[in-house]
Amino acid sequence: MYKKAILVVSFGTSHKKTREKTIERIEQDIGRAYPDFKIYRAFTSRLIINILKIRDGFGVMTVKEAMAQMSKDGIEEVIVQPTHILNGLENEKMTEEIHTCKKLFKSVKIGAPLLTSTQDYHKVIAGFLEYFPFINGEEAYVLMGHGTAHYSNAGYAALEYMFRDHGREDIYVATAEAYPAIGNVIKQLKKKNYNKLTLVPFMIVSGEHALNDMAGDDEDSWKSLLKEEGYEVNCSLKGLGEYIGIRNIFIEHVEEARQA
């Protein structure tokens, strides 16, 4: 009988295939690492929860619903592990909701998002460099982060700065909804002699932003804008959750929370 559980909290996605490759893989890996814990799932996006329910008949709980269900199931000790990139708005909202439910359990601990400590940044970069090697001075990579109005958005600029510290001036970071935007990166690209670019989603799932805003065929997609600038453009559609190194960081954060 389980008395301990890990609640894996994600923003969510309405795309089944990418959910299976990313969010579910993270949950599965955490489950294998902690077989004595029951694994629960929650999404923070009510829009996605509603789409899945109406379109697919697929139920996903909110954070509060998951906390209530765990209490009903007799869970006494809970570790909540978000799959969020930054300590931003979604993570703060999640944390607030968890605190309102803490009285239901003997123990509730919360793990850190992907990019929290300086060491996290180094680990993410090290994992990335295995898949995106330096080829020549004519090719560069542009990572698409989501972006947020929260002050944690500065983490994207810090990430690019740390890529430079790792000797990779060919990797740029932009966001879909904040600063730096793709226009800011284009200004930097023009200072170099790049001919070929590879666009890479820096998001847990390769969902709407990656498929449409980054790799879509509309004239305002990143791919189209960069082609208009004369670059040869390739697109990777692999979400961060597909990288084992990224999933391992989340497992490490679960362990850090467990020992706290």
pLDDT tens-place string over residues 149-186: 999 999 999 999 999 999 999 999 999 999 999 999 99
- The radius of gyration of the chain from alpha carbons, rounded to an integer in Å, stands at 19
pLDDT in tens, 80-91: 999 999 999 999
Task: Report d(CA 228, CA 215) in Å as an integer.
Answer: 14
> Catalytic amino acids?
146
Asked if residue 1 has pLDDT above 70, the reply is: no
Q: Which residues of 17-31 are buried (b: 16+ CB within 10 A; e: fewer)?
A: ebbebbbbbbbebbe
Asked if residue 138 has pLDDT above 90, the reply is: no
Asked if residue 2 has pLDDT above 70, the reply is: yes
For the chain, what is the mean pLDDT? 96
Place of tokens 């708005």: 89
Q: What are the DSSP E strand ranges found in the chain?
A: 4-10, 38-43, 77-82, 107-110, 139-145, 171-175, 196-201, 232-235
Asked if residue 209 has pLDDT above 80, the reply is: yes
pLDDT in tens, 7-55: 999 999 999 999 999 999 999 999 999 999 999 999 999 999 999 999 9
Please say whether the beta carbons of 75 and 38 come within 8 A.
Answer: yes
Alpha helices per DSSP H over 137-238: 154-165, 182-189, 208, 222-228
Query: How is the beta sheet containing 139-145 ordered, strand by strand?
Result: 171-175, 139-145, 196-201, 232-235
Query: How is the beta sheet containing 107-110 ordered, strand by strand?
Result: 38-43, 4-10, 77-82, 107-110
Please say whether the beta carbons of 12 and 204 come within 8 A.
Answer: no
HEC profile for 93-104? HHHHHHHCCHHH
Please say whether the beta carbons of 253 and 81 come within 8 A.
Answer: yes
User: Which residues contact residue 73 at a Cβ distance below 8 angstroms, ignoring those fewer than 6 apart?
Assistant: 2, 5, 38
Task: Tell me 151's DSSP state.
Answer: G
How far from 51 is each of 1, 45, 98, 178, 210, CA to CA, in Å? 33, 10, 24, 25, 19
Helix then strand then coil, % of the chain, to nearest 5: 45, 20, 35
